[in-house]
């Protein structure tokens, strides 16, 4: 990475049958032109029923590899590391995209599907019940993540992130608020982490040694009876043993109705805890908007990488602007720089 700034994976809900298209090339390529060290493509579902909405990107067939190749090429051609997140939405799947006229779960007659989860309990009381995964279903999904990782590498991505956050499937198994199973996949901490760790190990085995495997976690459920930062530190150590190279620390999403604390750097302590207590490289996310703020997080060794989302939507050239504001300007791409530099 040419710097420690990355673009967070942000769903844009603009794919058809999971296939990336010119929108994704333009959207992600612009952030690479803007100077980010790493650009992570949005969550790619490892199977069709793993999509949050019917418009999510997928990686469940070779057609999806071909569709994503131009995205990875656009990112890499502009000097950024092309990364992608592999995901399964679990019981939070089959919903309308945010700007749709309707909200909630998409019915079958409109293209929706039956979701899966640790148990038959839905995310919201009025949602249709998911199907509880059995041993065979869990084994199939471990394989689906591994195969998707192989496809991601074939598409040209050089960092693979496993999505285990925000109340989606792997987080559903981690969180005691959601995983109420009483078999080998639920109950105590050691059982709840078994499925996510198996996915991490399978992805690590599928990815060449030289390519990093990241894991995004919700480091806190924002409830004392839920997943905690202490659980995250413990999980980070196990994830490293399973093959993870970095833990990307977000938070929340397991259950509805939980209000996250507000304020600057509210999630940065999670990345700091993983880095210092577990000894595992970490990424900090959430509310990072100011260049000095981002620089301090990395400079003070609170995290190894900062990932920005909404700020990168507002300003694709955030990284280049940040370098100027911090007094460490870097050249703009020649097609822009010859004009921009002369006017400053």
- 52 vs 11: CA distance, rounded Å: 9
- 172 vs 227: CA distance, rounded Å: 10
For 217-226, b where at least 16 C-beta lie within 10 A, e where not — what string?
A: bbbbbbeeeb
Radius of gyration over every alpha carbon of the chain, rounded to an integer in angstroms: 19
- Nearest residue to 110 via CA among 60, 56, 53: 53
- 329 vs 333: CA distance, rounded Å: 12
- Nearest residue to 309 via CA among 172, 165, 93, 207: 165
Name the active-site residue from 13, 96, 168, 336: 168
Contact 39, 83 (CB under 8 A): yes
Q: Burial of 334 by CB count in 10 Å (0-12 exposed, 13-18 middle, 19+ buried)?
A: exposed
According to DSSP, the residues that pair with 306 across neighbouring strands are 5, 284
What end-to-end distance do the CA atoms of the chain give, in Å?
Answer: 27
Residue with tokens 């019940």: 129
Does 336 qualify as catalytic in the annotation? no
The two structure tokens encoding residue 189: 């901490």
- 297 vs 305: CA distance, rounded Å: 8
- Nearest residue to 317 via CA among 303, 298, 331: 331
Q: Which residues are catalytic?
A: 168
């Amino acid at each position: 990475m040419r710097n420690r700034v990355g673009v967070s994976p942000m769903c844009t809900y603009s794919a058809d049958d999971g296939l990336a298209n010119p929108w994704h090339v333009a959207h992600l390529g612009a952030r690479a032109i803007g100077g980010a060290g790493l650009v992570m493509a949005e969550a790619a579902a490892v199977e069709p029923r793993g999509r949050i909405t019917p418009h999510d990107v997928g990686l469940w067939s070779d057609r999806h590899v071909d569709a994503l190749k131009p995205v990875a090429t656009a990112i890499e051609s502009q000097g950024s590391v092309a990364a992608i997140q592999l995901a399964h939405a679990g019981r939070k799947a089959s919903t309308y995209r945010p700007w749709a006229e309707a909200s909630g779960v998409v019915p079958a007659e409109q293209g929706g599907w039956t979701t899966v989860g640790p148990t038959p309990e839905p995310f919201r009381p009025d949602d249709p019940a998911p199907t509880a995964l059995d041993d065979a279903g869990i084994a199939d999904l471990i394989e689906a993540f591994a195969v998707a990782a192989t496809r991601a590498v074939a598409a040209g991505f050089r960092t693979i992130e496993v999505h285990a956050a925000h109340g989606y499937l792997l987080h559903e198994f981690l969180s005691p608020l959601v995983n109420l199973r009483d078999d080998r996949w639920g109950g105590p901490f050691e059982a709840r982490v078994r499925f996510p760790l198996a996915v991490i190990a399978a992805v690590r085995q599928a990815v060449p040694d030289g390519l990093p495997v990241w894991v995004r976690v919700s480091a806190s459920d924002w409830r004392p009876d839920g997943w905690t930062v202490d659980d995250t530190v413990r999980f980070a150590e196990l994830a490293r043993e399973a093959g993870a190279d970095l833990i990307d620390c977000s938070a929340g999403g397991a259950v509805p109705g939980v209000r996250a604390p507000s304020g600057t750097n509210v999630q940065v302590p999670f990345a700091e805890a993983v880095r210092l207590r577990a000894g595992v490289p970490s990424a900090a996310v959430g509310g990072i908007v100011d260049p000095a703020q981002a620089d301090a997080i990395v400079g003070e060794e609170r995290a190894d990488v900062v990932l920005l989302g909404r700020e990168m939507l507002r300003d694709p050239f955030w990284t280049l602007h940040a370098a100027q504001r911090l007094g460490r300007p870097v050249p703009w791409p020649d097609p822009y720089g010859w004009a921009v530099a002369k006017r400053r």
